[in-house]
Amino acid sequence: MRYPQYLAAAPLAFLAACGGGGAATTTAPEPPASTFASLALTPTSGTVEVGRTFVLTPQARDGIGNEMAGAPAPAYTSSDPARATVAADGVVTGVAAGTVTITAVLAWGGVTDTATATLTVTPPAAPPTTFTLLALTPDAGTVAAGATLQLQATPKDQAGTALTGLPGASFSTSDATKATVSASGVVTGVSAGTATISAWLTWGGVTRTATALVTVTQVVPTAAAVTGSKAGFSPASVAVAASGTVTWTMTDEEHDVIWDGAAPAGGNIPRITKGSSASRTFAAAGTYAYHCTRHGETGSVVVKTAQTGAPVLTSLSVSPSSGGVQVGGTLQLTATPRDQNGAAMSGLPAASFSTSNPAVATVSAAGVVTGVAAGTATITATVTSGGVAKTGSAAITVTTTAPPPSTSTATVTTPTIAFSPPLVTIQAGGSVTWRISGATHNVTFAGPGPTGGNVPDTSPGGSATRTFPTAGTYDYQCTRHNGMTGRVVVQ
């Protein structure tokens, strides 16, 4: 260890000790006060993601490199604020990908010095893929008894993009006497009526469901054959469509066909010899009873028309039947009343909507769901007509996925019947470009829009850009496709 103050005083002390110079003594000089000599920033380089922050720490040092306390804060500047900004406390925020230099200047005690740090701004990390929706297409359909209908269950992420590599969905039917469904989603009509086909899929600890309403129709033949013998007519009763034809063939001896009431064109068939045939065509619906006067056997013909009766409100389907929405985001639901044949009905009162959990999701009178907090809620739609009330529901999952960071530009695409991403955040004065693919879409704003206003119908391959000079939230939709919504947040 050095003691410079004692070394400096040593010759004088020695002289005094030897009697030279009299009795005078000296004291060690005070060390000079530390003075500001240089400024350093730590770290001198680093990486920050767009929308994230990075903290720089200044260090004021004296002439021998010791850090000094009590120094004022330096002044900071960014070489490119479009890539990164810096606050008065040295907090750097990434704005756009690239490289930027942050400079700090400190003036203290008559000395001014600068220090720099070089930062690389990287693009924001893509949000993790979330299994948000199971789409079942078609969500309603009609199939004849004995015929089949293929349903397709498609898992989708939070942007509405189909997910691949997931296990297949499972299927079930609400009424196997009306329709059955295979493990691959093939529905087979069994008998006239309706059945709800449910699909569900579990992946990553998340289960999503979807439903389809299937109406089974009974096919009425346009022709029927009856054999006659002393044992009776076989079959004893046949059904044909209006304008259908029934043919009788006698297998043993002569028989006749005598109508008991209403008769088809041509009337009775007085005699049909063994091995011969005779036909009648039935123009009007109804039941036609007959008998053979020679042997007493009886039979009937039931004639049906294509009309199955006046439409009756039988069910209410909600589309989509399940879905996901971010906190603050919206999802449009559509309620469709259907008759006994599964056909959509018009002219009925509008559906009313309710939510099982308004703390998680609310729903407007028009069926627009708004995410409030993370969780699940069931949205129920109700339609009442002719004293009959029918309900349908949709299972909604609300997530807290953070909105993308603020940038000066953003691009929205339409890979499916959805805007991707559904939410973009830009700076005031920035712009959004919609690139249309897959189908014709438009961008129609719910309220005041950006400069240039709405984007009209645009064919696949087209694009349109709008500039947003004013901060705020701009909700929009494609009016051609229900539930296709998006949002632009301008900061």
- pLDDT, mean of residues 345-374: 92
Measured CA to CA, the distance from residue 349 to residue 238 in angstroms comes to 41
Give pLDDT, residue 386.
76
DSSP states of 290-303:
EE-TTT--EEEEEE
Residue at 109 is within a domain: yes
Residues 333 and 391 grouped into a single domain: yes
- Percent pLDDT > 70 in the chain is 89
Residue at 228 is within a domain: no
pLDDT at 15 over 50: no
- pLDDT, mean of residues 28-36: 60
Q: Which of 386, 395, 74 is nearest to 209 (CA)?
A: 395
Last residue of a domain, one of 83, 101, 122: 122
Structure-token pair, residue 123:
């693009």
User: Where residue 388 falls among pLDDT bands split at 50, 70, 90?
Assistant: confident
Measured CA to CA, the distance from residue 352 to residue 117 in angstroms comes to 60
CA angle 141, 143, 147 (to 5 degrees): 145
The residue whose two tokens read 């109804």 is 286
Question: By the 8 A CB rule, do 135 and 153 touch?
Answer: yes
Measured CA to CA, the distance from residue 382 to residue 155 in angstroms comes to 27
Across 253-257, 287-291, 305-309, the highest mean pLDDT is recorded for: 287-291
CATH number of residue 48's parent domain: 2.60.40.1080
Residues 262 and 326 grouped into a single domain: no
Residues 331 and 390 grouped into a single domain: yes
Give pLDDT, residue 218.
73
User: Where residue 13 falls among pLDDT bands split at 50, 70, 90?
Assistant: very low
> Which of 232-246, 262-276, 391-405 comes out lowest in average pLDDT?
391-405
Residue at 169 is within a domain: yes
Residues 323 and 394 grouped into a single domain: yes
Residues 315 and 391 grouped into a single domain: yes
Across 143-147, 353-357, 408-412, the highest mean pLDDT is recorded for: 353-357
φ, ψ of residue 34 in degrees (nearest 5): -65, 140
The torsion of the CA quartet 357, 420, 152, 320, rounded to 10 degrees, works out to 30
Q: What is the mean pLDDT of the chain?
A: 84
Give pLDDT, residue 6.
37
Instruction: Report the predicted TM-score, pTM, of the whole model to 2 decimal places.
Output: 0.41
Residues 210 and 268 grouped into a single domain: no
Residues 111 and 138 grouped into a single domain: no
- Considering only residues 480 and 102, tell me which one the structure prediction assigns the higher pLDDT: 102
Name the residue type at position 298. T
DSSP states of 318-345:
EESSEEEEEBT-EEE-EEEEE-TTS-B-
Q: Which of 355, 353, 359 is nearest to 382 (CA)?
A: 353
Q: Which of 341, 321, 338, 318 is nearest to 385 (CA)?
A: 338
Structure-token pair, residue 344:
């959509």
Across 259-273, 342-356, 403-417, the highest mean pLDDT is recorded for: 259-273
* pLDDT, tens digit (0-9, with 9 covering 90-100), for 105-146: 999 989 999 999 999 999 876 666 778 888 888 888 888 888
Name the residue type at position 306. A
- pLDDT, mean of residues 294-302: 88
Residue at 24 is within a domain: no
Give pLDDT, residue 445.
92
H/E run at residue 17 = helix 4-17
Number of domains in the chain: 5
DSSP β-bridge partners for residue 174: none
Which residues touch 301 (CB under 8 Å, ≥6 apart)? 224, 237, 238, 239, 240, 246, 264, 282, 287, 288, 290
- Three-state secondary-structure class, residue 179: strand
Residues 207 and 272 grouped into a single domain: no
Residues 116 and 131 grouped into a single domain: no
Structure-token pair, residue 237:
């009763």
* pLDDT, tens digit (0-9, with 9 covering 90-100), for 172-222: 999 999 999 999 999 999 988 888 899 998 887 788 888 888 888 877 788
Which residues touch 445 (CB under 8 Å, ≥6 apart)? 453, 454, 474, 475, 476
Tell me whether strands 277-282 and 244-250 are parallel, antiparallel or unpaired: antiparallel
Give pLDDT, residue 307.
44
Neighbour count for residue 389 (Cβ, 10 Å): 11
Last residue of a domain, one of 122, 151, 167: 122
Domain that holds residue 67: 36-122
* pLDDT, tens digit (0-9, with 9 covering 90-100), for 48-71: 888 888 889 999 999 888 989 889
The torsion of the CA quartet 53, 54, 60, 61, rounded to 10 degrees, works out to 180
* pLDDT, tens digit (0-9, with 9 covering 90-100), for 77-114: 999 999 999 999 999 999 999 999 999 999 998 999 99
CATH number of residue 478's parent domain: 2.60.40.420
Residue at 230 is within a domain: no
Residues 204 and 263 grouped into a single domain: no
Residues 203 and 268 grouped into a single domain: no
Quote the strand ranges of 190-345, DSSP E: 193-203, 206-217, 223-229, 232-234, 237-241, 244-250, 255-259, 269-272, 277-282, 286-291, 298-304, 315-319, 322-326, 330-332, 334-338
Structure-token pair, residue 330:
């919206």
CA angle 306, 307, 311 (to 5 degrees): 145
Residue at 319 is within a domain: yes
Give pLDDT, residue 306.
52
- Considering only residues 103 and 439, tell me which one the structure prediction assigns the higher pLDDT: 103
Give pLDDT, residue 422.
84
pLDDT at 238 over 50: yes
Residues 347 and 393 grouped into a single domain: yes
pLDDT at 316 over 90: no
Residue at 359 is within a domain: yes
Q: Which of 429, 416, 428 is nearest to 486 (CA)?
A: 416
Residue 447 DSSP class: S
pLDDT at 17 over 70: no
pLDDT at 405 over 60: no
Last residue of a domain, one of 399, 432, 461: 399
Q: Which of 213, 128, 125, 228 is nearest to 174 (CA)?
A: 213
Question: By the 8 A CB rule, do 422 and 329 touch?
Answer: yes
DSSP states of 66-131:
-B-SSPPPPEEEES-TTTEEE-TTSEEEE-SSEEEEEEEEEEETTEEEEEEEEEEEEPPPPPPP--
Measured CA to CA, the distance from residue 120 to residue 82 in angstroms comes to 13
Residue at 6 is within a domain: no
